Chain A
Amino acid sequence: MSFQLWTRKFLRRLRIGQFLQVAAEWLAIFLLSYGSLVLLVKLAFPALWPHVLWIGLGAFPLAFLAWKVVSRESFTETESVAYLDRKLNTGGLLMTLSESPDEEWQSRLPQAQLLWQNSLPRFRPVRFAKLVLVPLLFCVACGFVPLREVAITEPLDNKSTTEKNVADLKEQFEKLKQEQVIEKEEAERIERELEQLLEQKKDPLTHEKWEMVDALWQKMQLRVEQKAVLVSKAHQAASALAKAKQGGGEPLTPEQIQQLTEQIEAGMNALNGSQNRAGEGKPGQTSGKLGQMLKDGKLNLPSDPAERERMLSELRDLLESEEKKLCEMRGECKNGQCQGTGYSLEEMLANSERPGRGGVTRGRGDASLNYGHETDEQGAKFKETVLPKGFQDNPGDEIVSTTLAPPKEEVADAAPRGPERLSDPSTGQATWNRKISPKHRAVVKGYFDKP
């Protein structure tokens, strides 16, 4: 192998060494920057994760650039030959032959291949490892930093609490008004109160307003409840009456029939407002009679058994549909199944013979305890639920900035304790409680002792 090949090998290794030198510095800076970027994204811009990882591919063009820079300012062949010459201890002959080849003198060069092989520089990338290791560890550590969860991902509702509550109230009120659950006078009064609340929507929500909103809400709920109970009772009474008329079950006593009739009439009175609508929606003679009956608020069943049975059936259907509507208004319908008012006809009939219900009992304490409205998720494991999105209390406040960092705690200045307490200016005792140095005492004493 000619010496030119060895000099080229030597030069190549020098360039690789130079590349390692440059690349180590650049890579260290890149890794530090990349790690910081990953950390920033994880803590401040989690939405950019894991897309930020693609920036890591920037190491390749960086290495290419480093190689280009090294190629431009790399060792020259003369320098590489000089190093090889020195290593082989040829006293400049190798340098000379690389510039002026001469076969005669070339034979004086070392001939052993092993000598040339051993003279090549060896890679010991200690500096490279020292420079790159710490940034690399930093980068890996940044990769393991947990991604910060964002509590608020949706924009804040800028409506004030008053606005929101009044809007809900108004919606409910419109429904009740449409269903004529609320009487006209009361409806007007509620409407006025709602308008009054709306006028003050920009003001902070005080506890008085909260109470007002709550009272209105309860009032409307009460009306719905009352009507729902009456209609539910009427519906069950109509069903029981129809069943008794058909001859099914035990025969009803006249008191029970009277009681059922009263309940049906009470329900009809409650539905009085919607009788016209019900009547209009049902064509035919029976519908007209039912409408008239509803208008009168009296249960006048025809004497003809078939006609009576059909009317009772229509009445029952009407009451059932109204009950469902009211149930939906109360918000107790779950998956299309209405829970009902909790009123039981069997209980009513069973208690009908007891005192107060037309029967003899041993007092109020004799009534059976029935626990209603029990949850069907009894004993179920508690599950976390995401709370509804927040709202602003004071619409006048503007959001200056939204931060994901925990709020800064500004610790109030603690009152000085211990020996400092006496001299601290905040105690107000600094002046009179100041200690006087012994050498000044005579002067102070002389000043105050002056007549």
Chain B
Amino acid sequence: MPDSTSSELDSLFDDDDAGGESATATAPSSSTRGTLLRTDQVDHARKLIARFREGLGRAILGQDELLDLVVICLLGRGHMLLEGLPGLGKTELVKSLSALLGLDFRRIQFTPDLLPSDIVGSPILEEQAGGHRKLVFHRGPIFANLVLADEINRASPKTQAALLEAMQERRVTIMGESHHLPEPFFVLATQNPIELEGTYPLPEAQLDRFMFKINVYGVSSQTLQDIITTRRNGQPPELKTLLSASELQQLFDLTDQVHLPEAVSNYIARLVTATRPEESASPDQVRKFVKFGASPRAAIALAATSRAAALLKGKPNVGFEEVKRVAMCVLGHRIILDYAARLEGWTSQKLVASLLESVREVARAVPEDLSV
């Protein structure tokens, strides 16, 4: 990872009482909860994010909301699954990300004959000096900061499962030896919802490891016109690194320091709980259509990405609107629907939308004799 730090940036993370300890050294912990970000810290973070976001916008045209969500997921240090029709720029988006971040990037094209060892690497018998032979581990393409798993659903479940440990534990174990993956580590996977012959749907366990699942939609005609007039053969402009590794780390730290008010955390908890059909307080449609609700990992992801969304907006705290903004991407792929939902035309997205309508931001309703 490139190592570029500036004294100006470091000064923003100086703790008055700590006497000049750098922010990169300050681990986000519960003890930091209760201390708000300073306005200059927030402004600086906003500038960095805006710079990065602008670079992304030059690479991918007309997908502002998608790019915002990608930035949010990135700041939340989560893996991302992009789903959309071919040719919408999914792969291009990931390549642009790697170019702008200046991180180590690898691309894996998932095919049915892909083996786990093709991803994580494998030990190879090598002849050492002195004539004796030894098994030496050769790292696979997963040993990178940014891994593009293109068309992930085309690989067999065995190969898909090779990503499980890497995505959650950020390490790979081969023949009893664990190898840590570089920090930061992101898996950006793509899949398209058509041509399902010969594909293997991602298992729930793996889906749950993706912080965001973002549906990529087509762009407007104006955007299309811009693309064909400004780009030859659709080639994006040359991208330079806009965010160094240390700046990215500072953004991660700032994101962790964004305050999550008690009422909002309560809202997140109730929202996730409401997705479970076994809960008596869940709405009727959940009890009727949902087979399995969201896991605690979803609540953690909601909190993390809400913090990132708040920072993107230049706020030192999370509000209810940030939670609502990311809820669809976090919960949509974590809710497993029953067959009845398919019969009645309910999708996860529709269900999450109805949940956002039915779950109150504040647990207790205002008395009827008051008008707020």
Contacts and interface: CB of A to CB of B under 8 A. Distances in A.
Instruction: Place the interface of chain B in its size category.
Output: 20 to 34
A298 to B, nearest CB: 108
B315 A121 contact: no
Contact of B34 (A18, A85, A99, A126): A99
A14 B363 CA distance: 14
B361 interface: yes
Interface string B190-206: 00000000000000000
Contacts of B38: 104
A72 interface: no
Nearest to A76: B364
B174 interface: no
Interface string A55-97: 0000000000000000000010011011101110011110110
Contacts of B362: 79, 82-83, 86
Contact of A121 (B266, B313, B370): B370
Contacts, number: 100
A122 B315 CA distance: 30
A16 to B, nearest CB: 8
A128 interface: yes
Interface residues of A, number: 35
A105 B264 contact: no
B371 interface: yes
A250 interface: no
Given A86-B361, A100-B35, A81 B369 contact: no
Contact of B366 (A83, A93, A126): A83
Given A82-B263, A121-B371, A124-B370, A92 B315 contact: yes
A21 B368 contact: yes
B39 interface: yes
Interface centre among A78, A92, A102 (most CB of B within 10 A): A92
Given A79-B362, A82-B362, A105-B36, A95 B368 contact: no
Given A75-B364, A86-B320, A93-B317, A100 B369 contact: no
B149 to A, nearest CB: 35
B370 A93 contact: no
A13 B370 contact: yes
A54 interface: no
A92 B319 contact: yes
Interface string A243-258: 0000000000000000
B366 A123 contact: no
Given A78-B262, A102-B36, A96 B370 contact: no
A20 B263 contact: no
Given A92-B317, A92-B319, A99-B34, A79 B370 contact: no
B315 A20 contact: no
Interface string A138-151: 00000000000000
Interface centre among B36, B320, B370 (most CB of A within 10 A): B370
A69 to B, nearest CB: 14
A18 B370 CA distance: 9
B261 A20 contact: no
B176 interface: no
Contact of B367 (A17, A104, A105): A17
Given A83-B372, A86-B361, A105-B39, A121 B316 contact: no
Contacts of B319: 85, 90-93, 95
A127 interface: yes
Contact of B259 (A81, A100, A121): A100
A95 B317 contact: yes
B321 interface: yes
Interface of A: 13-14, 17-18, 20-21, 24, 75, 78-79, 81-83, 85-87, 90-93, 95-96, 99-100, 102, 104-105, 121-128
Closest 6 CB pairs of A and B: A92-B319, A17-B367, A95-B261, A96-B317, A82-B263, A17-B370
29 contacts: A14-B367, A17-B366, A17-B369, A20-B367, A21-B367, A75-B364, A78-B262, A78-B263, A79-B362, A82-B361, A85-B263, A85-B319, A86-B361, A87-B372, A91-B313, A92-B310, A92-B319, A92-B322, A95-B263, A96-B259, A96-B261, A99-B261, A100-B259, A105-B36, A121-B372, A122-B371, A123-B369, A123-B370, A125-B369
Given A92-B317, A92-B319, A121-B371, 8 more contacts: A17-B366, A79-B363, A99-B262, A124-B370, A124-B371, A126-B368, A127-B368, A127-B369
